[in-house]
Amino acid sequence: MLTLQRDILYGGPPCQDFSGCNRHRKANSIKNSLLTTFLSYVDHYRPKYFLLENVRGLLHHRLGSTQKTKSTVTGGIEQGSVKFILRALTSLGYSAQFHMLQAAEHGAPQSRRRVFFWGAKMGLMLPLYPQPTHICKNLSTPTNTFTVGKTAPHPAVVIGDAISDLPPFDWRIKARGEDREFLAHRALTIPQIRPPENKKLPVGKFSQSYASQPTTNFQREVRRHVTGNRVENHFTCRWGPEKMLRILRIPMKAGANHLDIPAKYDMGAIFPGPMASKHNFYPNRYCRLDYEAQFQTCLTNVDPSGENGKVTQASHIWFQDTC
């Protein structure tokens, strides 16, 4: 996405080739060249300011790499993309700087690090980067070392702050005999929604009442312009019956995952093979989140069995975001 306003040009090229989640890197991917396209707009429009945002993997992206295997690359200029951006901006008559920010340190209920490049025409002052306002719960990923993830004017915003006012629901699905009693008991406390006949549609309701009035500052801010007490388009993703049943079986407690399902009921969830034991049977897959923790960055396609599978909430609600 690229946006031009009167005095500023800002945007971010696709992140797939820079992201650490990319397991199939291509040295000759056309997306690698879009940095050049973005910077060419600076040359064309000559804005007073230029802002480029992207994933932190951009800081380590090498220019001029070659394909090593089908899914890996080798060689290239260390931090080549960073050097290219800075040299292009300075050669065009801009002063430039970059910095990495952590969304959790600025009031988001999510650990999400992004790098920001500022460019300003010579004679104009480069904007200052914002100082942290909130604590980052994940002490391994704060970006401002002077906060050490512990000190900020406001406490951390956590998952419960974000979604505790959303109405919970379970899926009403067909189940084998041993699960019917279990699911019937759950139905006494959690409303049930039957998946639509069209298998391409998600599960949920287009419009329904919130579970409560806003109880946190985050919820009040999100609902500031909401008319009435209605949440719109409240859906979960939809998977095959086996995967949905597996999610329903996982205990309703923070950190519970597929390993908490008795193996006699769910052998398919204990990913077999030599790599599974090496990775402790993938504890973050089919994993229930903690209301007192923060979201990790989700991929565009949310999948509880995938690499970023820690997306299942105690009330079967998913928070979906792009990388």
Which residue, 149, 179, 144, is CA-closest to 261?
A: 179
**Residues in CB range of 190: below 8 A, 6 or more apart:** 168, 169, 170, 315, 316
Which residue, 1, 289, 17, is CA-closest to 160?
A: 289
136 is catalytic: no
Burial status of residue 274 (CB atoms within 10 A of its CB: 0-12, 13-18, 19 or more)? exposed
> Rounded to an integer, what distance in angstroms lies between the CA atom of residue 250 and that of residue 18?
34
Helix (H) or strand (E) holding 41: helix 34-45
> Rounded to an integer, what distance in angstroms lies between the CA atom of residue 293 and that of residue 198?
35
The answer to whether 309 touches 282, Cβ cutoff 8 Å, is yes
Structure tokens at 187: 């139905």
Give SS3 for 293. coil
Catalytic member of 15, 136, 287, 323: 15
> Rounded to an integer, what distance in angstroms lies between the CA atom of residue 304 and that of residue 319?
12
The answer to whether 179 touches 157, Cβ cutoff 8 Å, is no
Give SS3 for 70. coil
Give SS3 for 172. coil
- Listed in sequence order, the DSSP H helices in 92-199 are 159-163, 177-187
* CA angle in degrees (0–180, nearest 5) for 109-297-22: 170
Catalytic residues: 15
